[in-house]
Structure 1
Amino acid sequence: MKKSKKGTIAVLATGELGFLITGVRSAILSALDKALEPLGISAAQFVVFRSIADGRGSTIGELCRVLGYDSGAMTRLLDRIEKKDLIRRVANPQDRRSFLIELTERSALLVPQARRRVQKVFAQLLNGFDEKEAAALKTSLEQILLNAARIA
């Protein structure tokens, strides 16, 4: 009896896709943490800064959606950042029960330095890719996001 060779889609569908994505995510966060360490911030903290600076998140709820954190984990992360005087919580004029998260002057100066370090890491992660391969990677990841949104 001839043994059939599984195709790539069949192999990825066994859960290998999840293991690969989790491994890539962990490797990226580790590389970013290492690059950002001299600035005294972590990759997760940088994502908070960037989200605030780019206007993608100014409340705990918005930041939870961006980072995929629950509110308890986000509160603990924000507490650590606030202790470093890198964010401040101010009363939300539209909702007295919530706060807006703002960058401090110190973190506003840190964001451009951190962005340069992060861009360097991502450029290094794309070493060995040509334009066509990078475009295919981008398209593939966007398709996975679309498919996941349809399932959720």
Structure 2
Amino acid sequence: MPETPAGACASPSDTPYDAHSSIGRQLRRLVTQLASTVDRRMEPLGLTDAQWRPLLCLLHGSPATASELARLCGLDTGGLTRLVDRLLAKGLCQRERSRTDRRVVQISLTPEGERVAAQLPEVLSQVQRELLHGFSSEEETQLRAMLARLQDNALALDQLPKI
């Protein structure tokens, strides 16, 4: 087996799998920690990590149906319905029948929901700034590019035949 030159990295296929340091585990731990941090930062707004997503989607868009909002938030419609029920109870959003098609129910922000949702970008930006503390802008750009490549590779895995 040829040796890897000094200073060169082994290719990923040459690296044995280690469950404790796997990229998947590291990403999962990062996402878990980040969700916990966002949860704490959302407490003053009366929101959880999960509840801010639909509000932010509605802030940047027009009223949406449950299926549209679920797709935008990356949730199944059942999960989104439960989230919207909680947001309705807090007075942050409302359900309204479409004026053009009475079968369609649209979800929109209430004035209080608009007030709360307007604060989300700054809270999330602050968390992101803290997360990237110590990274140069070049390193941030590289990280974003590497994460995009990982995501593309992960999507391609679904296209491979099963072993």
TM-score range, shorter chain: 0.7 to 0.9
Q: What is the CA distance between 1:148 and its match in structure 2?
A: 3.2
Q: Max radius of gyration: which structure?
A: 2
1:131 is the counterpart of 2:137: yes
Q: Which amino acid aligns with 1:108?
A: E
Q: Which residue of 2 aligns with 1:113?
A: 119
**Which ranges in structure 2 are unaligned for 5 or more consecutive residues?**
159-163
Give the RMSD, CA atoms, in angstroms.
2.9
Q: 2:90 pairs with 52, 66, 84, which one?
A: 84
After TM superposition, the score normalised by the length of structure 1 is: 0.83
Identity of aligned residues (%): 28
Secondary structure at the aligned position of 2:43 is classed as: helix
Q: Which residue of 1 aligns with 2:56?
A: 50
Spell out the pairing of 1:10-89 with structure 2 (5 A cutoff): 10=13, 11=15, 16-55=22-61, 58-89=64-95
Cα distance in 1 for partners of 2:55, 2:36 equals: 18
After TM superposition, the score normalised by the length of structure 2 is: 0.78
Q: What is the CA distance between 1:109 and its match in structure 2?
A: 0.9
Q: What is the CA distance between 1:103 and its match in structure 2?
A: 0.6
**Which ranges in structure 1 are unaligned for 5 or more consecutive residues?**
none
Cα distance in 1 for partners of 2:77, 2:140 equals: 35
Secondary structure at the aligned position of 2:50 is classed as: helix
Cα distance in 2 for partners of 1:104, 1:65 equals: 21
- Residues 82 and 140 from structure 1, CA distance in 2 versus in 1: closer, same or farther, beyond 3 angstroms? same
Would you say how many aligned residue pairs link Structure 1 and Structure 2?
Answer: 151
Segment of structure 1 superposing worse, 73-82 or 61-70: 61-70
Structure in which a larger fraction of residues adopt helix:
1
Cα distance in 1 for partners of 2:11, 2:114 equals: 45
